[in-house]
Amino acid sequence: MKKTTELYAGKAKSVYNTDHPDYLILSFRNDTSAFDGEKIEQLERKGEVNNKFNHFIMQRLEAAGIPTQLESLFSDTESVVKHLEMIPVECVVRNISAGSLCRRLGIEEGLELTPPTFELFLKNDALHDPMLNESLAVTFGWATEEQLTKMKQLTFQVNDVLRRLFDDAGMLLVDYKLEFGLFKGEITLGDEFSPDGCRLWDKKSREKLDKDRFRQGLGGVVEAYLDVAARLGIDMMGPVGKS
């Protein structure tokens, strides 16, 4: 597989074309952003850590029967992925209250949510990712009803797999955001799963081990990501190019 021209540059990742029309290369940069790109910093090694973290998680999800875009690691900071036609809707599941849920509904942080909640947001930085519902997504053509049903089902399936995975490693999966796309007509999990797009707390101390460390200026961001990776047994030093 050969990397060719840049297709798109997002806030933390860049996407490149390859010599195969069905595949892209996802490049994880060290850029770390919060508040719709208002706060941006370079954090050393973050690109590599998230690339390898994402690869590990996507492999676990794939093994559990969830279709993902991930093909293989390409370099320390890059992965080969399927070329999806992205659906501009973010799916968020929450197991414990935090973040925008607390701000929006005046709820205290740290409450166990039973059953876990499911929310949709429009992927649009200029509008600060406004909250959506299924009716709006269908009427404005962002996704069909069938696609939304599948996305919701897969998002909860991810919860079943990852809640247990993190729990076994002494962590709480507080919430996370997923993005989906279409590959040859099939709903497929895209984007990334890393501590940049989820909340993870230590089970005992409830210490934050995710991007909230960056948002809240707590420091030790990449160190926390590496701690999470180590607890999961992810090899950060291993050879790249095999998956």
The DSSP bridge pattern shows strands 70-75 and 171-183 to be unpaired
In whole angstroms, how close is the CB of 90 to ligand UDP at the nearest point? 6
Q: Are 46 and 32 in contact (CB under 8 A)?
A: yes
State how far the Cα of 28 lies from the Cα of 85, in Å rounded to an integer: 19
Interaction with ligand UDP in 2-41: which residues (CB under 6 A)? Answer: none
In whole angstroms, how close is the CB of 130 to ligand UDP at the nearest point? 11
Q: Are 195 and 211 in contact (CB under 8 A)?
A: yes
From start to end of 36-185, where are the E strands? 39-42, 70-75, 78-82, 85-96, 112-122, 131-132, 171-183
Q: Does 82 bind ligand UDP (CB under 6 A)?
A: no
Nearer to ligand UDP by Cβ, of 71 and 175: the residue is 175
Interaction with ligand UDP in 116-155: which residues (CB under 6 A)? Answer: 129
Q: Does 181 bind ligand UDP (CB under 6 A)?
A: no
Q: Does 171 bind ligand UDP (CB under 6 A)?
A: no
Percent composition of the chain: helix, strand, coil (DSSP 3-state, to 5): 30, 35, 35
In whole angstroms, how close is the CB of 11 to ligand UDP at the nearest point? 9
- Region of 18-26, 77-85, 95-103, 132-140 interacting with ligand UDP (CB under 6 A): 95-103
Q: Does 70 bind ligand UDP (CB under 6 A)?
A: no
The DSSP bridge pattern shows strands 112-122 and 171-183 to be unpaired
Q: Does 101 bind ligand UDP (CB under 6 A)?
A: yes
In whole angstroms, how close is the CB of 147 to ligand UDP at the nearest point? 20
Nearer to ligand UDP by Cβ, of 66 and 89: the residue is 89
- Tell me how many degrees the CA angle 211-216-218 measures, rounded to the nearest 5: 85
Instruction: Check whether the bond before 115 is cis (ω within 30° of 0).
Output: yes
Q: Does 176 bind ligand UDP (CB under 6 A)?
A: yes
Determine phi and psi for 157, rounding to 5 degrees: -65, -40
Interaction with ligand UDP in 187-216: which residues (CB under 6 A)? Answer: 197-199, 211
In whole angstroms, how close is the CB of 190 to ligand UDP at the nearest point? 13
Q: What residue has token string 């291993």?
A: 238
Q: Which residues bind ligand UDP (CB under 6 A)?
A: 92, 98-101, 129, 175-177, 197-199, 211
